[in-house]
Amino acid sequence: MPFSFLAEELKLLEDQGLLRRRRVLESATGTRAVEDSREYLSFCSNDYLGLASHPELIAAMQQAAVQYGVGAGASHLVSGHGAAHHQLEAALAAFTGQPAALLFSTGYMANLGIVTALVGRDDEIFADKLNHASLNDAALLSRARLTRYPHLDLAALEKRLAGSKARRKLMVTDAVFSMDGDIAPVPELLILCERYDALLLLDDAHGFGVLGADGRGVLEYFGIASERIIYMATLGKAAGVFGAFVAGSAELADYLVQRARPYIYTTAMPPSLAAALVASLRLIEGETWRRERLRELAEVLKQGLTLRRWRLMPSTTPIQPVIIGANEEVLAVSEALRGLGIWVPAIRPPTVPKGEARLRISLSAAHSPEDVARLAQALNELEKLPNRRGRGGR
Ligand SMILES: *Cc1c(COP(=O)(O)O)cnc(C)c1O
């Protein structure tokens, strides 16, 4: 049996409460998801601004599909780069206040492309321990030396920067950490990068559209700008569609077009997605009420929870994790919530450190304060039940 190791590995994962299963949604709009004909109040989506099913985005996508067809047909460097992509890049550059922007098909690919194009064998990457997997994979693929420092530990980072003899230094960090919801101290990181002549790559997947008065992201939030910063963000989260981009100097964009392999050797995103994203940018900028609503909902959650054993992490972003601890218990709680018609994902190792399994509550501007109050109430009651230990599950 050449593949018997597969069954053994799967069994092992199941025994550890680590087996992952997918759910099939019949429909999902805004904050309601339907599975097996049952509707759930969902706190799973990264659609923070509630734009993924917005009529203006849908209309823009439909129109573009008629005009351009549904597929780009080729990579950007062959014949896949259409007017819709070009217009979106110009809009992203203007929106982020950077000279140029380059579109990638996904955030995962953008990170692989940026990092592998900028550093190699003689270089060193400095990375926060809680960075997104795509940044770690990018570092491994680049063959640069990868030095990870404890989460937000600036003193540890400085020590490592000071000791480095690398040709080029690249500091990489999530701007908003995807499983904790906390914000990286970007001004302090920038000071260190200046002191030790390092470049700073910011992955603003969860800040773009959300942070800053106009939703321009982490740089607007801190009111900073620097030629050292490479700004990258994804377009499948708050922007509600799909894709990613990097913004910076015109030379950076030109260089990545030459050297970023995940840019060069992949099909361009469908032009209809680019058209939907142009519409999305207008709404992100214009509808500030969506960001105000998110802050209001985070407050409703915090005020509504009366947890003793479990712990709501201190987060001011739409990512509001509740630490439960053991894998089995977080699965049992997630299942119990499902029984109440509420869907909150259980996040387990290796996505988060061992013993820190959690519910990852994602708030959306499409939620009502009543939705969030209902979730808080359900969690308060479930915590009081005897410590449940479910098995297996999702
Ligand atoms: C989601 C995410 C990515 C990957 O973006 P995709 O467009 O989904 O591939 C990269 N970095 C961070 C921090 C993310 O949260």
pLDDT digits (tens, 9 = 90+) for 209-263: 999 999 999 999 999 999 999 999 999 999 999 999 999 999 999 999 999 999 9
Show pLDDT as tens, one digit a residue, over the chain (394 residues).
899 999 999 999 999 878 888 989 988 778 999 999 999 999 999 999 999 999 999 999 999 999 999 999 999 999 999 999 999 999 999 999 999 999 999 999 999 999 999 999 999 999 999 999 999 999 999 999 999 999 999 999 999 999 999 999 999 999 999 999 999 999 999 999 999 999 999 999 999 999 999 999 999 999 999 999 999 999 999 999 999 999 999 999 999 999 999 999 999 999 999 999 999 999 999 999 999 999 999 999 999 999 999 999 999 999 999 999 999 999 999 999 999 999 999 999 888 889 999 999 999 999 999 999 999 999 999 999 876 554 444 4
Question: What is the per-residue pLDDT for 33?
Answer: 93
CB 339 within 8 A of CB 40: no
Domain spanning 21-49+288-383: CATH superfamily: Aspartate Aminotransferase, domain 1 (3.90.1150.10)
The rounded distance, in Å, linking the Cα atoms of 322 and 308 is: 11
Question: What is the per-residue pLDDT for 350?
Answer: 85
CB 115 within 8 A of CB 142: yes
Those residues with Cβ within 8 angstroms of residue 292's Cβ, 6 or more apart along the chain or in another chain: none
Question: What is the per-residue pLDDT for 17?
Answer: 79
Percent residues over pLDDT 90 in the chain = 92
Question: What is the per-residue pLDDT for 388?
Answer: 53
For the chain, residues classed under CATH 3.90.1150.10 are: 21-49+288-383
Residue with CA nearest ligand 1 atom 3: 107
Question: What is the per-residue pLDDT for 351?
Answer: 86
pTM: 0.95
3-state helix, strand, coil in the chain (%, to 5): 40, 20, 40
How is residue 156 written in tokens?
């540890």
**What positions carry a catalytic annotation?**
178, 206, 237
Residue with CA nearest ligand 1 atom 8: 107
**Domain topology for 55-286:** Aspartate Aminotransferase; domain 2 (3.40.640)
Pocket of ligand 1 from Cβ distances under 6 Å: 106-108, 111, 132, 134, 174, 178, 203, 205-206, 234, 236, 244
How is residue 87 written in tokens?
């217009």
Substitution site in 109, 203, 234 for ligand 1 pocket (most atoms within 8 Å of beta carbon): 234
Question: What is the per-residue pLDDT for 394?
Answer: 40
Residue with CA nearest ligand 1 atom 5: 107
Question: What is the per-residue pLDDT for 88?
Answer: 98
The rounded distance, in Å, linking the Cα atoms of 126 and 139 is: 9
Helix ranges, the chain (H)? 4-15, 55-68, 83-96, 107-118, 133-142, 154-162, 186-195, 218-222, 250-259, 261-264, 271-286, 289-304, 327-339, 369-384
The rounded distance, in Å, linking the Cα atoms of 98 and 151 is: 28
Those residues with Cβ within 8 angstroms of residue 321's Cβ, 6 or more apart along the chain or in another chain: 179, 180, 181, 312, 313, 315, 347, 358, 359, 360, 361
The rounded distance, in Å, linking the Cα atoms of 135 and 110 is: 10
The rounded distance, in Å, linking the Cα atoms of 346 and 327 is: 8
For the chain, residues classed under CATH 3.40.640.10 are: 55-286
Nearest alpha carbon to residue 371 among 262, 310, 298: 298
Strand pairing report for 100-104 and 244-248: antiparallel
